[in-house]
Structure 1
Amino acid sequence: MNTANRQQPAAAGGYFPLSVLCLSRSWGGLELNTVRFAEWMRQRGWPVEIITLPDSPIAVRAAELGLPVQVLRNPLKAVDLPAAGRLAGFLQKFNTRVLLVTRNGDLALAVLCKTLRRPALKLVYQQHMQLGIAKRGLLHTLRYRALDGWLSPLPGLAREVLEKTRLPAARLHVVPLGIEVDKFAHSGRTQAQARAALAVELPAGAVLLGLVGRFDENKGQLFVVEAFAALHQRHPNAHLLLVGESTRNIGDGYRHAVLAKIESLGLGHAVHVRGFTLQPEIAYQALDISVVASTNETYGMVTIEAMATGLPVVASAAGGTLSIVANGRTGLLFPVGDQHAFGAAVEQLIQQPTLAVKIGQQAQAEALATYSHHNQCAQTEKVLRALAAA
């Protein structure tokens, strides 16, 4: 083995400098998870810095948490040699041993930096999105083979990686993305207190459904409102809570369309809309049933958060949700876009409260056992330390 460029052994305790790259101006699940992961790793003793776009939501949130931030522009994308040089300078200054990339679009820059400027750098991709089309061509093969590790959050996504790329199987690891499960499972907050915190006033005996997530066509708020209209006619005690902001860089058009639909259907008294919150656990704790209506959710962090709260989940049978929700045991699945099946699933839980409680309990046990952020960090650490020792 060539040892000319090998870095020094890790510091005592196995903690060495780790940089996290995500050049995104959006603020969704990927970006939230990027900042959360960096903060969790810092809490465990890792020196961590985030490299992101200037004035991005990631940069703002990381600064609020006191995380070191380096800002970088990448206007030339895959061939941006100046940006690759600046990235290499950041890594050298921080003495970075491993660069973890959380956005697929940043892999080309990271590989360029490693290939031309930092050959001893260990490069790891933390997957958040599906691959889509096959990527077995020469360019993608060279890019992916420059990776030292690939962290896939679900077994199904890992299988897709092996099927659609030429990544060596030994570099692929299944590491579920985690949440701080105690925030959701053991808050000490009652349902009434959570509803009061959200200013949601309900009549006695009301059943509250809820969808938490940014307003986006793929998240399905419009579908849920339309399906809820029929459900509400049969169950006037049913109410709906929508929590989230408009998708960054897209505008408020979809959110306005949802609000207009609520108004046109005469549901203003039964549908409660609230903005984005850094405390989503309060929203879940206010609910009786959680709804996930995404057309193709890669992973489904909101599904896991609801499960950890102990809620029965009614979710569209698509994407990563199929790997997370066991139909009839930890939630109820319905075909994407099927309003009748959605209504039937919700109605089953309303009419059988004992079943709803049982499913919620089983869902919570699954979430606590599998999706704790401590598990994610521990499994990631194992991969990072093995790479550093190689």
Structure 2
Amino acid sequence: MKKILHILLSSSKGGLELYVCRLMQKQAETGFEVYAFVLENSEVHKILAQNPAIRCIFGKPNRRLHWQNIRHLRKVLKAYQISILHSHNNIDVWTASIANYDKICKHFYSTYIMIGAKKKLPHYYFIYGNLEAAISTSLITNEAMAQNLAISAEKIRLVRYGVETEKFISDFQRREQIRRQWGVSENQIVIGTLARITRFKNVRELAQAFLYIEQKFQKKVVIWLIGEPSIAYSDEKTTIYVPEDLAIEQEIQEFIQKNNLQNHIFRISFQKDYIAFLDAMDIFVLASFDEMYSLSMIEAMLMEKPVIGLRSGGTPEQIGENERGLLIEQATPQAIAEAINKYLENPDLMKQKAENARAWALREHNWQNTLAEYARIYGV
């Protein structure tokens, strides 16, 4: 049985964390002996603790390189005879590469963000040059890695997100229950997003777009902003959010109050049962700047929602040239509202885009293909 250790020293609870947890769970189901190097009491730990097949080993908060983590990880790799090490963010890859400097095991790195800055100084060749492979789910990110990372092009791999597509089936009773819970009437239109409250996600701009929706539609429009600011630190007693993100949260709240939009714009915290909330939406918007390849966009497509995305990062890969949704050129409130108005003016267009999106997502994203591709890259 192959032993794999995933390192994810994140205190956040977003799409990245949920996805990596699901990857570990799926790999455990397919015969890997799975270990996780995580933060104690983090959301990642809480999720994995429910699965006895995954052994959690605890590190220290890792917002900067932490030598204690390097020493501890190195001991773990040797003690448990780990054969595959998989890191998942741009700090953990440093910890893993230094701990594995003499190649105790094979090291693979997945990135879930765009690689914008060049990383080709000598120390980067040490960090990235010893990788067996650098992996993303987006063609545009792979192109950026080839240009900007100190790694040979033949080591860059594409693995599309795995999704449990069978879970993404609309349930009328569930949909109506969620809508009633949030005071949405039958004839209202719910426009929603699932995103961290952070600058590049442009959630604030989606809220502000309400003012530019045509007046004939405004009465029946409700906007759900589902997510939370990024977490800087968290333990059992305390959660500290990133100050910049907390400021954006405050701006959104002030905008709602100033414009008396309490009955039209709702801030909803991160939801574990997010599929039910996607089901309850009518239009999904993700106006993120340089979004690598959004998992929430795929999931909205699987729920057969008409989607709106920014022509940036990997989003055009998902939407195509407007075949599977509407692309906007700028993440401004006006541009977002223009796309919303276009949908609301044309229900047939909404239906067509939603059907195209679901068909594409079903074809491109399933766990069977994803796990097979990882196994091939791992060499097992």
The alignment status of 1:207 with 2:189, answered yes or no, reads yes
Matched, 1:68 2:68: no
Map 1:206-355 → 2, pairs under 5 A? 206-231=188-213, 233-235=215-217, 236-249=219-232, 250=242, 252-355=246-349
- Residue aligned with 1:68, SS: strand
Partners of 1:78 and 1:256 in 2: CA distance: 31
Q: 1:25-174 alignment to 2 at 5 Å?
A: 25-66=11-52, 67-73=54-60, 80=67, 82-116=68-102, 119-174=103-158
Q: Counterpart of 2:136 in structure 1: which amino acid?
A: S
Indicate how the Cα distance of structure 1 residues 78 and 210 shifts in structure 2: closer, same or farther if over 3 A, else same.
closer
1:313, 1:332 within 8 Å by CA — same for their partners in 2? Answer: yes
Give deviations 1:208-259, integer Å, cap 9, x for gaps: 1111122223222221111112216231222212222232122544323212
Is the contact made by 2:214 and 2:341 (CA closer than 8 Å) also made in structure 1? no
Structure of larger gyration radius: 1
Deviations 1:38-64 (A, max 9, x none): 112112222111101233222222213
Residues 297 and 215 (structure 1), Cα distance of their counterparts in 2 relative to 1, 3 Å cut: same
Contact kept, 8 Å, 2:136 with 2:160, in 1: the verdict is yes
Secondary structure class of the residue paired with 2:342? helix
Query: Separation in 2 of the partners of 1:232 and 1:212?
Result: 24
CA distance in 2, matches of 1:114, 1:246: 33
Give the drift of 1:177. 2.2
| Residue type at the aligned position of 1:123 | H
Distance between the aligned counterparts of 1:159 and 1:102, measured in 2?
18
Alpha carbons 2:223, 2:264 under 8 Å: kept: yes
* Residue 232 to residue 36, structure 1, CA distance change in 2 (3 Å): farther
Which shifted more, 332-341 or 364-373? 332-341
Deviation at 1:102, TM superposition (A): 0.6
Note if contact 2:324-2:353 (Cα within 8 Å) is conserved in structure 1. Answer: yes
Q: Contact 2:16–2:112 at 8 Å: present in 1 too?
A: yes
Gap change, CA 1:267 and 1:378, over 3 Å in 2: same
Structure-2 change in CA distance of 1:167 and 1:347 (3 Å)? same
1:151-177 alpha-carbon deviations (Å, 9 max, x no partner)? 121111111111112412222111122
Decide which of 172, 175, 178 is 1:197's aligned counterpart. 178
- Structure 1 unaligned blocks of 5 or more: 1-10
Q: Any conservation in 1 of the 2:288–2:331 contact (CA below 8 Å)?
A: no
* Residues 74, 146 of structure 1: alpha-carbon distance in 2 compared, 3 angstrom cutoff: farther
Tell me how many residue pairs correspond in the alignment.
366
SS for the counterpart of 1:344 is helix
- The alpha-carbon distance between structure 1 residues 331 and 83, as it changes in their structure 2 partners (threshold 3 A), is same
Change (3 A) 1:195 1:245: farther
**Distance in 1 between the 2:63 and 2:202 partners?**
34
Q: Give, in whole Å, the separation in 2 of the partners of 1:314 and 1:348.
A: 11
Q: Which residue identity does 1:18 align to in structure 2?
A: I
- Secondary structure of 2:375's counterpart equals helix
Normalised by the length of structure 2, the TM-score is 0.90
How much does 1:203 deviate?
3.0
| Contact in 2 for aligned 1:98/1:123 (Cα 8 Å) | yes
**What letter matches 2:18 in structure 1?**
L
CA distance in 1, matches of 2:96, 2:150: 19
Q: Deviations over 1:116-154 (max 9, x none)?
A: 4xx341010011122221112211122211101111211
Evaluate the alpha carbon distance shift between residue 256 and residue 328 of structure 1 in structure 2; reply closer, same or farther with a 3 A threshold.
Answer: same
Runs of 4+ deviating beyond 4 Å: 74-79
The 1:355–1:17 alpha-carbon spacing in structure 2 relative to 1, beyond 3 Å, is same
**SS of match in other structure, 1:210:** strand
Contact kept, 8 Å, 2:3 with 2:82, in 1: the verdict is yes
TM-score (norm 1): 0.87
How far off is 1:204 after superposition? Answer: 3.6
Cα distance in 2 for residues equivalent to 1:244 and 1:87 = 32
Deviations 1:279-308, CA, capped at 9 Å, x for gaps: 111111001110112233122111111111
- The reply to whether residue 180 of structure 1 matches residue 164 of structure 2 is yes
- The superposition leaves residues 339-362 of structure 1 with CA deviations (integer Å, 9 ceiling, x where unpaired) of 333222111111211111111011
Whichever residue aligns with residue 31 of structure 2, its letter is G
2:364 aligned residue (360, 370, 381): 370
Q: Give the structure with the higher percent strand.
A: 2
Partner secondary structure for residue 101 of structure 2: helix
Moved more, 146-155 or 322-331: 322-331
State the 1:75 CA deviation. 6.7
Separation in structure 1 between the aligned mates of residue 166 and residue 314 of structure 2, nearest angstrom: 23
Aligned residue for 1:6?
A: none
Q: Is the 8 A contact 2:62 2:92 kept in 1?
A: no
Whole-Å separation in 1 of the counterparts to 2:26 and 2:60: 26
Contact 1:17 1:96 in 2 (8 A): yes
